[in-house]
Amino acid sequence: MKNKEINKNVILKKITVSLTVVLLMGALTAFSYNTKLTSANNYIRVPDATQKKKDSVASVKAFAKVYSVLMSPRCMNCHPKGDVPLQGEDSHLHTMQPKRGKDGKGLYAMKCANCHQPENSPGLHAPPGNPNWHLPPSDMKMVFEGRTAHQLAKQLIDPKQNGHKDMKKLIEHADDGLVLAGWKPAEGYALPPISHAEFKKAWITWLENGAYAPKP
């Protein structure tokens, strides 16, 4: 009788990037390091410091893992398409509808940290916590919800959409406190689909191999 918690995320979860590598190969295009990123291009890579040999197949393969994590509720719930965070394993709109606010930290009497403590609160259904709990700010929303693997990959490496992060900062971001918080869920919440170590490895592999985006 209760269907408030609509499972919006089911479809997205199912797409977890079953890419045909062979098809991709033919379509790959490499860019020179300083090429301005344009959204018209299907495959992009960012300049990287390591100058490693680029492997577009490995990159796209790694991104599949990255994507599975980013689209898990532990990550996506705070990267909503609207201004209300998502909640729970089914990523429903957060009860009481707190809003992003300019800085991503909520509004008025509904600031994230008013409920979300520096650490997970004990007990089932108590607020998860982190000292830096917030959404992306309103001028850099970094939306994950609803993004295809292709769209998300492109977005992640676009400094205009990723919080002005260059390659170095992107790599460092794997160990960001809030990213790590995904693997310390509060009681009753599921972990992301792979371990943080696996995620970090895939993240770096994706980036260092040219940050190729899967085909749309």
Partner 1 sequence: MSVLKINGQSYTIDADENMPLLWAIRDIVGLTGTKYGCGVAQCGACVVHLDGEAVRSCVTKVSRAQGKQITTIEGLSKNNDHPVQQAWQEIDVPQCGYCHSGQIMSAAVLLRENPNPSDQDIDNAMAGNICRCGTYPRIRNAIKIAAEIQRKATKS
Partner 2 sequence: MPSITNTSKRNFLKIAGLGGTALYLGLFSSNSSASVINASEIEGDPQSVELNAWVIIDTSGKVTFVDHRAEMGQGSYHSVPQILAEELEVGLNDINVVFGQGNRKYGNQITGGSSTIRSNYKNFLKLTASAREMLIAAAAAKWAVPHQDCYAELGHVIHRPTGKRAHYGELVVAASKMEVPKDVKLKKRADYKLIGKPIRRIDTKLKTNGSVIFGLDKKLPGMMYAAVERNPRLRGKVKSFDATNALKVPGVTKVFKIKMLVFKTYREGVAVIANSTYAAFQGKKALKVEWDDSGFEHINTADIFKRQEENVKTKEGLSYKKQGDPDKAIATAARKLDVVYQTPYQSHYAMEPLNCTAHYQGDKIEVWGPIQAPDWVQDALSGEFGMPREKILVNMTFLGGGFGRKAFMDYPHEAAVISKELNGPVQVVWSREDDATQGPYRPGITYRCEGAINNGKIEALKFRMSGQNNGHWMGGKKDEANDSTSEGFLAPYFDNIKNISFADVPFEIPIPSMWWRSVYASTNGFAFESFLDELSVEAGKDPLALRREYLDERCHKLIDKLEEVSGWKKRKKNEGYGVAITECFSSTVGHIVKVSRRDGGGVKIDKVWAVMDCGWYVNPDIIRAQVEGSIVMGLGAAAFHEVTFKDGMTEQKNFYSYPMPRINDIPPIEVYVMDNAEDAGGVGEPGLPPLAPALTNAIFDLTGKRIRTLPFSLEAV
Residues that bind partner 2 (CB under 8 A): 1-4, 6, 95-97, 125
108 binds, among partner 1, partner 2, none (CB under 5 to 8 A by kind): partner 1
Backbone angles phi, psi at 86, to 5 degrees: -105, 170
For residue 152, give the nearest of 86, 63, 72, 90 by alpha carbon: 63
Amino acid at 189: Y
Residue 178, CA distances (Å) to 34, 128, 209, 212 in order? 30, 12, 25, 25
CB 128, min distance to partner 1, A: 11
41 binds, among partner 1, partner 2, none (CB under 5 to 8 A by kind): none
Query: Which positions touch partner 1 (CB under 8 A)?
Result: 95-99, 107-111, 113-115, 117-118, 121, 123, 125-127
For residue 161, give the nearest of 144, 146, 181, 173 by alpha carbon: 144
CB 38, min distance to partner 1, A: 37
99 binds, among partner 2, partner 1, none (CB under 5 to 8 A by kind): partner 1
Nearer to partner 2, 5 or 166 (CB): 5
CB 96, min distance to partner 2, A: 6
CB 113, min distance to partner 1, A: 7
Nearer to partner 1, 133 or 206 (CB): 133
Beta-strand ranges (E) seen in the chain are: 86-87, 92-93, 106-107, 110-111
Q: Which own/partner contact pairs does 25-30 have at CB distance under 8 Å and 24+ positions apart? A: 25/56, 25/57, 27/215, 28/56, 28/212, 30/54, 30/56, 30/210
CB 118, min distance to partner 1, A: 7
Nearer to partner 1, 13 or 94 (CB): 94
Amino acid at 91: S
